[in-house]
Amino acid sequence: MNKPADTAALKQLDRAHHLHPFTDLHAYAEQGGRIVNRAEHIYIHDTDGNTMLDGMSGLWCCNLGYSQKQIVEAVYRQLQELPYYNNFFKCSNQPAVELATMLSEVTPGQFKHVFFTNSGSEANDTNIRLVHRYYDLLGKPEKKLIISRKNAYHGSTIAAGSLGGMAPMHKQVIGLDYIHHINQPHWFENGGDMSPEDYGVQVARELEAKIDELGEDKVAAFIAEPVQGAGGVIIPPSTYWPEVQRICDERDILLIADEVICGFGRTGKWWGSETYGMKPHLMTFAKAVTNGYMPLGGVMVGDKVADVLLAGGGEFAHGLTYSGHPAACAAGIATLNVLKETNIIETSATEVAPHFQRRLREFESHPVVGQVRGQGMFAAVELVKDKGSRERLAPESAGAVFCRDSANKNGLMVRQTGDAMIMAPPLVCSTGEIDILIEKLGIALDETAAHYGVK
Ligand code: PMP
C-alpha cells in the first residue's frame, strides 16, 4: 500500500478497514478518530498537529514514558540475534531465562517461577488453567469455582471477560458458569452513610459469605486487582485488604492479585500487593513490564502452587506460540534495568506522587468534584452536581464525558470511567509537569461546571 498522502486519507482508510477495540464501530466508521503518530517523554502528537500531555501512560503501560532508548536498542539487538524461537519441547532462550530470573528477584519472596503470555488477558486465562491444574494434582478436582468482583477488569478473552465484572461486557460475553462475583469496595458509590472503614470490612466479608454459599470444598480462588483500575481507580478502604487476607488465610482458597495496572510502581511500591499488604499465591502482570514497547504478560506463580505443579509430573497442557518471545523478553529485561538503575519507583513515590496527590486534592473544593481518590501515580476525580447527595451531573456519565473531551481539547489525555476522571501519568513526570496536568484538568473542570451551570 502506498503511504497515504495526508491525514484525511489516513483517517479515511482507518474508518474503512480498521475495527477498533472497545469502540462504537458504527459511530467510528462515520466519524473516525485521532491518529497518533509520534511521542516523546510524556507527550503524544497526532497527525492533526496536536500535542497532548499523556495523563494515562498510554493504556496504563508506558510508565517510563516514550523516550526509553535502552529498551528500543535491546529489542533491536535481540531481533538481529534471535528474532524468535519457541519455549516448547525442551527449548528455552536467553532473554526468557534472564527475565524470569529478574522477575523472581523483584517480586515478593514467594515468587520464583513465571509463566509467560503476550497479554494480561491471556495471563488471567493462564491463572484459571494453573488453579484448576493445581487442585487436580492435589486430588481435589471439585475445587473449580473462582470468585471475582463486579466492575473488575481482567481482560477481554472469554475467560478473562468472565472473570471481569463489567456489566456492558457481560451483556456480550456468555460468562463461564464457574465464575462468581461479589461487590467491589467502592465506598463513594455504595458506602452510603457508613464510614469507609466499616464499609471496607462489610464488603470484604462478602467474600466469606460467598465461600460459605458455594462451599469451601468447591471454591478454588479469589481474583482481584489491588486497586480496580479500568473500573474507576477504586481505592479500597484501609480495612478492606486486611479483612480479605484474613479470610483467605483461614480458607483453603488461592489469592490471585491482578497486577496488570498496579505492578511496576504505579501505587508507589513495585507491586500493589505490597502497598496493600496482600500475600497472593499468583500474580498477573503485563503492560509496564516492557513499558508498553512490546506485547508481554505473564503469571508469577508462588511456591505453594509451583511446588505442586513441579512435583505433580505430567504435562501442563497450556502454552502460546509467543510465550517467552525473545524480543519481548529483551524489552522486559531492559525495562527492569531502567527501573532499577534510575530508582524511578522510589523517586516517584517520594517526590512526584505526593505532589500529584496533594495538588489533586485542591479540587475537593471545586463545585463539580464529589471525591478525589488516589494512591501513588494513580487517581480518580468523581464528578457530581451536588456534593451532599452525590447526585450526578447528567445521566449516563455525560458530565464526565464532557469533562474528558474538554481536557483532551486542552491538550491533556485523560480518561473517563463512569462519572470519574481517571489518571495514571507516567512515573517519569516531573513535579512541574504534574502542575501542567493539574492546570489543564482544572480548566476542564471549570468548563464542565459552566456547561452544567454548577456553582
Ligand atoms: N487485567 C487488568 C487489571 C487490566 O487492566 C487489563 C488491561 N487493561 C488486563 C488484565 C488485560 O490486559 P490485556 O489488555 O493486555 O489483555
pLDDT at 72: 98
Decide which of 342, 364, 392 is a domain's last residue. Answer: 342
Query: Ligand 1: residues whose CB is within 6 Å?
Result: 119-121, 124, 153-155, 225, 229-230, 258, 260-261, 286, 297
| 120 C-alpha to ligand 1 centroid (Å) | 5
Q: Ligand 1: which residue has its CA nearest to atom 12? A: 120
Give, for ligand 1, the residue of 127, 151, 153, 266 to mutate: max count of ligand atoms closer than 8 Å to Cβ.
153
Bridging pattern class, strands 51-54 and 412-413: parallel
Nearest to 286 by CA among 116, 436, 67, 125: 116
| 164 C-alpha to ligand 1 centroid (Å) | 10
pLDDT digits (tens, 9 = 90+) for 402-439: 999 999 999 999 999 999 999 999 999 999 999 999 99
Residues 246 and 124 in one domain: yes
**Terminal C-alpha separation, the chain:** 54
| 57 C-alpha to ligand 1 centroid (Å) | 14
ipTM entry: 0.99
Q: How far apart are CA 252 and CA 108, in angstroms?
A: 21
The H-assigned helical ranges of 362-452 are 398-409, 431-452
pLDDT at 5: 61
13 located within any domain: no
Q: Ligand 1: which residue has its CA nearest to atom 10? A: 154
| 158 C-alpha to ligand 1 centroid (Å) | 13
Give, for ligand 1, the residue of 163, 256, 287, 320 to mutate: max count of ligand atoms closer than 8 Å to Cβ.
287
Q: Is the dihedral of CA 50, 53, 59, 61 positive or negative?
A: positive
Decide which of 292, 324, 342 is a domain's last residue. Answer: 342
* Residue-by-residue DSSP string for 247-301: HHHHTT-EEEEE-TTTTTTTTSSS-HHHHTT---SEEEE-GGGGTTSS--EEEEE
* Residue-by-residue DSSP string for 50-95: -EEEETTHHHHT-TT-S--HHHHHHHHHHHHH-S---S-TT---HH
pLDDT at 313: 77
Residues 285 and 359 in one domain: no
Nearest ligand 1 atom, CA 229 = 5
| 154 C-alpha to ligand 1 centroid (Å) | 5
314 located within any domain: yes
As given in the structure block, the three cell numbers for residue 106 are 523483584
Please state whether the predicted TM-score (pTM) of the whole model is above 0.95.
yes
Residues 350 and 429 in one domain: yes
> What are the start-end ranges of the E strands in 73-184?
111-117, 145-149, 179-182
Residues 325 and 431 in one domain: no
* Residue-by-residue DSSP string for 187-217: HHHH-TTS-HHHHHHHHHHHHHHHHHHH-TT
Residues 401 and 282 in one domain: no
52: domain CATH number? 3.90.1150.10
Residues 47 and 121 in one domain: no
Bridging pattern class, strands 282-285 and 297-302: antiparallel
Enter the DSSP assignment of 352: I
As given in the structure block, the three cell numbers for residue 237 are 478502604
As given in the structure block, the three cell numbers for residue 95 are 532473554
270: domain CATH number? 3.40.640.10
Residues 52 and 167 in one domain: no
Q: How far apart are CA 16 and CA 104, in angstroms?
A: 45
Helix (H, G, I), strand (E, B) or coil at 31: helix
Decide which of 342, 358, 378 is a domain's last residue. Answer: 342
| 284 C-alpha to ligand 1 centroid (Å) | 9
19 located within any domain: no
Which residues of the chain carry a pLDDT beneath 70?
1-5
Residues 6+ apart with CB under 8 A from 409: none
Q: How far apart are CA 194 and CA 261, in angstroms?
A: 29
Q: What are phi and psi of 237, to 5 degrees?
A: -55, 155
| 121 C-alpha to ligand 1 centroid (Å) | 6
Q: Is the dihedral of CA 105, 235, 231, 429 positive or negative?
A: negative
Nearest ligand 1 atom, CA 258 = 3
Q: What are phi and psi of 311, to 5 degrees?
A: -80, -25
Nearest to 402 by CA among 360, 350, 449: 449
For residues 290-323, one letter each, b for 16 or more C-beta atoms within 10 angstroms of the residue's C-beta and e for the rest, the string is: bbbbbbbbbbbbbeebbebbeeeeeeeeebbebb
Residues 382 and 301 in one domain: no
20 located within any domain: no
Nearest ligand 1 atom, CA 60 = 8
Q: Which domain holds residue 423?
A: 34-67+343-452
| 61 C-alpha to ligand 1 centroid (Å) | 10
166 located within any domain: yes
183 located within any domain: yes
Residues 244 and 146 in one domain: yes
Number of domains in the chain: 2
398 located within any domain: yes
| 228 C-alpha to ligand 1 centroid (Å) | 11
Nearest to 360 by CA among 414, 418, 417: 414
Residues 367 and 240 in one domain: no
Which amino acid, one-letter code, is at 22?
F
Residues 131 and 228 in one domain: yes
Q: How far apart are CA 260 and CA 267, in angstroms?
A: 12
Give, for ligand 1, the residue of 122, 126, 127, 261 to mutate: max count of ligand atoms closer than 8 Å to Cβ.
261
| 260 C-alpha to ligand 1 centroid (Å) | 6
Give, for ligand 1, the residue of 62, 154, 157, 284 to mutate: max count of ligand atoms closer than 8 Å to Cβ.
154
**Are 53 and 433 contacting, i.e. CB atoms less than 8 angstroms apart?**
yes
pLDDT digits (tens, 9 = 90+) for 356-365: 999 999 999 9
29 located within any domain: no
Residues 46 and 180 in one domain: no
